[in-house]
Structure 1
């Protein structure tokens, strides 16, 4: 009896699947936004050099007491190329003669200018970020990108580790450990005493994010039948989108990065309580020859789904698969009606075209650029979910997590390298955007080389894939023979 037949007996979308799905969706809702934390906690506020005549209450060169703050800044800070006060340099001594130049260019030499040796003054109306915490500005501004790089590198390592560990120790155990590691590392990051420790903790959080998302996906699709797998994966991506929207809303109300970090991390500890009621993937248990435990899980699922009679007849012998939300719903419709290959070709092509069009539309057409950017973000969500659906249906249960980890490695490489591609703008402004736009289109064409998996059961072993390929080849040969005979 195939596993799909057993799943149909115990219920492929009953109370058990709905409850476990809700819990995993909540977990993804809380875990996914952590990849965007630096967009808010590492925001760079307005800043300037600390200058004695303005910022030291015990020193005052403003003898007359009638000079305005703008006048004091003019004599204390040089102008940058845009004729605005420089953010990273100051005059060694106040240049009082600049007050009498009436806008003319002064003869100021480089020896009159020095870096911000006494630190910086930040705009007090903006939020407290890691930039203000560790002065990640001017010569240290590149460290801001290092914080993002640490998390993305963690996701890359996580895809390598979690895939192997998941196929060896199971989906449930790795999922629980990843939740615990994320809760601990992200909570500790809020109290990091140095920037180096903060980056290390974010690296660990990146590793755990891969574990949560990968194993959450597997624990959903391996307990449902093929007709519902596109829907479950779509809901998972929608949960991530809602989480990112929630993070954006919190970031505008919570002005302290320590508090925002804790608000996004501490609730994850509460997710550890319901994990005791999670069920391991019976597909993985059977594939790894843990038959007694798989029988126990199947009977438990049958009981929860109200199919006690089906659970009783199972034996060991019978054991021998806001913008983001509507976009992904549309993606689900495309996957179910157009098939996996054609829908991915369409989605990835539209994704690439929207990126290219956004860059080539003139800056003055702000509404058009906004619409195209919004469509590009929507197509990115749909592309991710459709690719994940197709990948899960192509891979056998015995190596599914490992293979998804390898796929995640390449995704991690792309995420890690994407900020570096922007360096190419110094040579030609359009190069990075051409890369971002052309690669999805090429990816959509490559999908046509893969087999269609719409409404087909999940393969449990490599032999299942070989059997399906052999049957497909025989069917094609039979069709060709019939056509030749008719002719």
Structure 2
């Protein structure tokens, strides 16, 4: 909790935090565009089998209308609409008779779409589904591709939590922005669906890193009093990003153009993110106090806090963060989330070692996103399985969430000992007093 005190010495919340929020929220606006991109780029248009007499103009009789050619080439379904996955082996001329009915042809007279499909391009001029024929017998590949994308999110949440602890939050954020831009831009040149899925996996892997590192940077550079407002703004930005995607999809009906429009902004965000300072808290606990001091003074200078040059010294920095540095030197792992009683209870409810825990908990959410598309593939055999699965999970979660504690204005704990202290303060009735002490330190 001592880092909150150092942040107050650097001017608390000021111009720097405003600029940082604007930079990170710029990335957050385009995040939903990638997460929900398949709703548009992988939409399944209306389709039917390609038929020689219907779609090969030299062989089409000139005395028949297109509706008549469709009638003798494509069988009708129960709803009297042309079937999407079968065609007649040979033209069924008898169906042109005035008294013809569905009984005038048999199932044996039909075959699968061996020559491909013709797609309705009135809504989307091109989609991933139409590009690689992910319909009829290949329709199961679409949810598999979506599951691959979410698997990238799952593994990314695990990996970036560790990588940001080793190499820093800001450097990983910049790398992830570049990775997202390159992977999703390269997807438009994919020669087949397998390569496309691989690039979308890399894209999702980077997106998880942006979510994780940007959220952590916002939390670590924002004072306790402003943190709730900042995170609320972040949540609103995600909603704004969903509206932006809707507007882009309305204007760009080709999947390649839509991919390019959502990817190129991340090249600019990568360049803009280079000005962001590294997390001073991370620099301190990884044994780089001199650089941490430089970053804190940089923040103080941007915030116009002139007194910080005298108030912030290596001695003050190290004495304030002594407990956190000692805790960081101890061997820690994901198992620590379950060894400490307070962490064990909170982790089980949410399912803060901060980045590792955040990455671990986000991975639990990504696991559900991976399984989600696969559950939907079972709806043809078990129609009630998807709604029952999704509904039961939400009901169970509603009983668990009341056990998650409220922060009530307290600084976020940096060590497991801070958690125990908070618990003791709450039990002894001094919780309120602790909050007032932290808020009026300076």
Cα distance in 2 for residues equivalent to 1:436 and 1:317: 54
Residue 410 of structure 2 is aligned with which of 440, 456, 464? 456
Q: What does 1:101-140 correspond to in 2, within 5 Å? A: 102-127=99-124, 128-140=126-138
What is the Cα-based RMSD across aligned positions, in Å?
2.2
TM-score when normalising by structure 1: 0.78
- Name the SS for the 2:80 alignment partner: coil
Cα distance in 1 for residues equivalent to 2:113 and 2:391: 41
Deviates more, 1:425-434 or 1:22-31: 425-434
Q: Deviation digits for residues 286-318 of structure 1, max 9, x if unmatched?
A: 233321111111111111100121233211111
Cα distance in 2 for residues equivalent to 1:119 and 1:223: 56
Q: Deviation digits for residues 255-288 of structure 1, max 9, x if unmatched?
A: 2111111011112111122222101112222233
Q: What does 1:271-310 correspond to in 2, within 5 Å? A: 271-310=269-308
Residue 176 of structure 1 is aligned with which of 162, 174, 177? 174
Q: Which residue of 2 aligns with 1:99?
A: 96
1:47–1:9 Cα change, 3 Å: same
- Name the SS for the 2:48 alignment partner: strand
Deviation at 1:115, TM superposition (A): 0.9
Residue 424 of structure 2 is aligned with which of 466, 470, 475? 470
Deviation at 1:203, TM superposition (A): 0.3
Cα distance in 2 for residues equivalent to 1:92 and 1:433: 39
| Residues 1:25 and 2:25 aligned together | yes
Question: Is the Cα–Cα contact under 8 Å of residues 30 and 241 in structure 2 kept in the other structure?
Answer: yes
Q: Which residue of 1 aligns with 2:46?
A: 46
Cα distance in 2 for residues equivalent to 1:203 and 1:18: 33
Q: Which residue of 2 aligns with 1:201?
A: 199
What residue ranges of structure 1 are gaps of 5+ in the alignment?
321-389, 477-487
Question: Is the Cα–Cα contact under 8 Å of residues 147 and 369 in structure 2 kept in the other structure?
Answer: no
| Residues 1:226 and 2:255 aligned together | no
Deviation at 1:438, TM superposition (A): 3.7
Q: Which residue of 2 aligns with 1:189?
A: 187
Q: Which residue of 2 aligns with 1:57?
A: 57
Cα distance in 2 for residues equivalent to 1:227 and 1:210: 27
Deviation at 1:436, TM superposition (A): 2.4
Q: What does 1:35-434 correspond to in 2, within 5 Å? A: 35-60=35-60, 62=61, 65-100=62-97, 102-127=99-124, 128-319=126-317, 320=319, 396=352, 399-422=353-376, 425=379, 429-434=383-388
1:90–1:428 Cα change, 3 Å: closer
Cα distance in 1 for residues equivalent to 2:227 and 2:381: 45
What residue ranges of structure 2 are gaps of 5+ in the alignment?
320-345, 431-442
Deviation at 1:217, TM superposition (A): 0.6
How many residue pairs were aligned?
400
- Name the SS for the 2:99 alignment partner: coil
- Name the SS for the 1:82 alignment partner: coil
1:252–1:302 Cα change, 3 Å: same
Question: Is the Cα–Cα contact under 8 Å of residues 354 and 414 in structure 2 kept in the other structure?
Answer: no
| Residues 1:10 and 2:7 aligned together | no
1:425–1:28 Cα change, 3 Å: same
Q: Deviation digits for residues 303-345 of structure 1, max 9, x if unmatched?
A: 110012123321111112xxxxxxxxxxxxxxxxxxxxxxxxx
Cα distance in 2 for residues equivalent to 1:117 and 1:420: 27
Deviation at 1:451, TM superposition (A): 2.9
- Name the SS for the 1:311 alignment partner: helix
Cα distance in 2 for residues equivalent to 1:428 and 1:258: 35
Greater relative contact order, per chain length (Cα 8 Å cut-off, separation 6+): 2
Cα distance in 1 for residues equivalent to 2:37 and 2:355: 27
Question: Is the Cα–Cα contact under 8 Å of residues 94 and 104 in structure 2 kept in the other structure?
Answer: no
Cα distance in 2 for residues equivalent to 1:294 and 1:122: 58
Q: Deviation digits for residues 96-151 of structure 1, max 9, x if unmatched?
A: 01111525232433331111111111123232111121111111111122222221
- Name the SS for the 1:277 alignment partner: coil
Deviation at 1:155, TM superposition (A): 0.3
Question: Is the Cα–Cα contact under 8 Å of residues 300 and 311 in structure 1 kept in the other structure?
Answer: no
Question: Is the Cα–Cα contact under 8 Å of residues 175 and 211 in structure 1 kept in the other structure?
Answer: yes
Cα distance in 1 for residues equivalent to 2:111 and 2:393: 45
- Name the SS for the 1:272 alignment partner: helix
Q: Deviation digits for residues 443-468 of structure 1, max 9, x if unmatched?
A: 23323323331200111212211222
Cα distance in 2 for residues equivalent to 1:124 and 1:467: 63
Cα distance in 2 for residues equivalent to 1:35 and 1:416: 12
Question: Is the Cα–Cα contact under 8 Å of residues 250 and 260 in structure 1 kept in the other structure?
Answer: yes
Deviation at 1:430, TM superposition (A): 4.6
Q: Deviation digits for residues 75-94 of structure 1, max 9, x if unmatched?
A: 11112232221111111110
- Name the SS for the 1:255 alignment partner: coil
Question: Is the Cα–Cα contact under 8 Å of residues 171 and 281 in structure 1 kept in the other structure?
Answer: yes
Cα distance in 2 for residues equivalent to 1:101 and 1:195: 45
Cα distance in 2 for residues equivalent to 1:130 and 1:427: 25
1:73–1:426 Cα change, 3 Å: closer
Deviation at 1:182, TM superposition (A): 0.2
- Name the SS for the 2:102 alignment partner: coil
